Amino acid sequence: MRKILHSDLNNFYASVECLLNPAIKDLPVVVCGKVSDRHGVVLAKNMIAKKAGVKTGMVLYEAKNLCANLVCVEAHHDLYLKYSRAVKDIYREYTDRVESFGIDEVWLDITTCHKHGGDPVKIADEIRTRVKTEIGLTVSIGVSFNKVFAKLGSDLKKPDAITVINEQNYKDIVWKLPVEDLLYVGRATKNKLNKLTIKTIGDLAKFDKRILKAKLGKWGEVLYTYASGQDSDIVRTTEELDEIKSVGNSLTYYRDLKNDTDVMALLILLSESVSSRMIDYGFKLSRTVHLTITKNDLQSVSRMAKMPPTCLASDIADAAFKLFKQNFKWSDGLVRGLGVCVTDFTKQEQLTIDSSYTQKQKNKNLQDAVETIRRRFGRNIINKAIVYTDDKMVELNIKDEHVIKPGLME
């Protein structure tokens, strides 16, 4: 039986800021992009602000209306990365199977860890205690026999807690939860499942898998596997992540794309999905973009090009659109589908004296802020303006509904 932990740093950004400035630790604190911008959004909040009703993604002036003494701190992503790495160094003392899920969440496979006689709860408690005493932060840890349930466990009790979901109790704990609590079930997927009268994770686990596949495609089968406790996805080591050669997503749209606006809007959504998954897998930069164009006669054209090293969705989309303009003419017909893929990865940040570095860092901070909001409220909660030119496109959740697991990628 596998022993999987999911460790989640509690209120990570805000906790780091309070750790570095003890004078504010007993006050309601939010981390935002720019303190001077009252229209900015809350990226993170501490427990005091949370209890006052402040939510991630809330507009800053709304948060201030809830808390007259709210402390607003600008984000310091370099510091968050430093603390994230320090915590992961502790994790790696227990196992080499440490897989990041963003900057503040990690899966650990401790099946072969022999500390405390291999007792996963005692190991989790030791990790929780060490992070608190050695780093000064708290974690919530889920203990289970697969990644999906371990992730659920870490979400159930916060802060500074351990939740065990095992083969004996998972139906009592997991199946009564709302279906949107399941990993990768965003707002669009939730709505589709609700229309099938699936309201809870238990409803999903008991539903006819054939109907799920008919309604949601292969993704329906994957979600059924998750809900029924059959997830067998491994926790990947750094070396195994290095073996991933590409990250991509493609989509055949419900109608033909008829102009450059249609194409760019879909390329943005695809590139945002690719960028987010690339960062989830731990890659800092990609140096090559691949574009696949499927015409309405179902003939496909694939092209690739080098681009300046980047992890920004906007850069990927721009590079893909440039390839599109170089290799497609509207006189040749219409576009039925598009695919975006990035390769040629590096996990090393590249230093530069280019004057554009500051702007690139601002763009990266903005993308991180948007990703934080999407992880909290669903990927459809915020989009670029061009996406709103098509109501159907706004409803797309390409990352969660068109997932390609690393183990299944070419």
By the 10 Å C-beta count (0-12 exposed, 13-18 middle, 19+ buried), 295 is classed as middle
Question: What pLDDT shows up at residue 357?
Answer: 55
**Where residue 404 falls among pLDDT bands split at 50, 70, 90?**
very low
Tokens 């072969």 correspond to 112
- Confidence (pLDDT) at 408: 33
Number of helices (H) and strands (E) in the chain: give both, helices first: 17, 12
What's domain 238-408's superfamily in CATH? DNA polymerase, Y-family, little finger domain (3.30.1490.100)
Quickly state the pLDDT bin for 377 (edges 50, 70, 90): confident
Predicted confidence at residue 239, as pLDDT, reads 67
- Residues serving a catalytic function are 105
Structural domain boundaries of the chain? Answer: 1-162, 175-227, 238-408
Q: Please, are residues 14 and 31 in contact by the beta-carbon 8 Å criterion?
A: yes
**Which of 35-39, 124-128, 293-297 is predicted most confidently?**
124-128
**Torsion angle, alpha carbons of 341, 347, 349, 350, to 10:** -70
Instruction: Encode pLDDT of 93-123 as tens digits.
Output: 999 999 988 789 999 999 999 999 999 999 9
Whole-angstrom CA distances from 301 to 90, 248, 296, 297, 327 are 47, 16, 12, 12, 8
Range of weakest confidence among 38-42, 206-210, 248-252: 38-42
Q: For 163-212, what is each residue's pLDDT tens digit?
A: 999 999 999 999 999 999 998 787 778 888 999 999 999 999 999 999 99
Q: How confident is the model at residue 289 (pLDDT cuts 50, 70, 90)?
A: very high
Which pLDDT band holds residue 406 (cuts at 50, 70, 90)? very low
382, pLDDT greater than 80 = no
**What is the secondary structure of 213-254 as a DSSP string?**
HHHHTHHHHHHHHHHTT---PPPPPHHHHHT--EEEEEEEEE
Whether the per-residue pLDDT at 410 is higher than 50: the answer is no
Per-residue model confidence (pLDDT) at position 347: 61
* CATH architecture assigned to 175-227: Orthogonal Bundle (1.10)
Whether the per-residue pLDDT at 250 is higher than 90: the answer is no
Task: Give the phi and the psi of residue 134 in degrees, each rounded to 5.
Answer: -90, -30
Tally of CB atoms within 10 A around 377: 15
- Please report, for residues 63, 129, 268, 325, 363, the alpha-carbon distance to residue 58 in angstroms, rounded to integers and kept in the order given: 7, 32, 24, 38, 20
Q: How many CB atoms neighbour CB 50 within 10 A?
A: 18
- Please give the DSSP secondary-structure letter assigned to residue 348: S
Q: Does domain 1-162 have CATH number 3.30.70.270?
A: yes
Quote the pTM value: 0.68
Higher pLDDT, 38 or 381: 381
User: Bigger pLDDT: 353 or 210?
Assistant: 210
Specify the range with the lowest mean pLDDT, choosing from 41-45, 86-90, 335-339: 41-45
Distances in whole angstroms, Cα of residue 18 to Cα of each of 30, 35, 53, 72, 135: 10, 16, 19, 11, 13
